[in-house]
Amino acid sequence: MEYKTVTSEDMEQVGKQIAKSINGGDVILLYGELGSGKSTLTKGLVKELGVKEIATSPTFALMNVYKAIHPKIKKVVHCDTYRLRDKNDLEDVGITDYLYKPDTLCIIEWPDKVSHLFTGKNNKKISIEYIDSERRKIITE
């Protein structure tokens, strides 16, 4: 599926739309350049899953865990590996405790840095590309 956005509100709406096709145990591999809207898309997605907190980028913490109010998903784990120094750092903060769990959704920004962790069949790839300075194209696979 392909979407096009202009505003951050559009990006959040795309996240909400994507959330409707997500299941527990899924791992979203989120690709896009710095500032492309990965965390904004995630904000809309987690909101649609009933997370009461406003999702923020876990760039410095590496991982944020949110409680979801959803029939199939009880936790949403949002990881940002942009500042990751060692591929084992994400394992050290406990990501493997959440990956592919039936009641958990994991969203991973910059997944190439830790691709060895994503061997499950429930991976969903989302790519965000710049069209120009304001518009983005989002492709889901």
**Assigned token pair, 57:** 């980028």
What percentage of residues in the chain have a pLDDT greater than 70?
100
**What mean pLDDT, rounded, does the chain reach?**
93
> Which of these ranges, 14-23, 57-66, 106-115, 129-138, has the smallest mean pLDDT?
57-66
Residues 6 or more apart in contact with residue 125 via CB below 8 angstroms:
28, 29, 31, 140, 141
CATH number at residue 63: 3.40.50.300
| pLDDT at 15 (0 to 100) | 97
The average pLDDT across 22-42 equals 96
pLDDT of 56 higher than 90: no
The average pLDDT across 61-72 equals 94
Number of domains in the chain: 1
pLDDT tens by residue, 86-123: 777 778 888 999 999 999 999 999 999 899 899 878 99
Strands 63-67 and 27-32: unpaired
Q: At what angle do helices 38-48 and 8-19 cross, to 10 degrees?
A: 50
The parent domain of residue 69 ranges over 2-140
Candidates 141, 94, 138, 96; CA nearest to 120 is 96
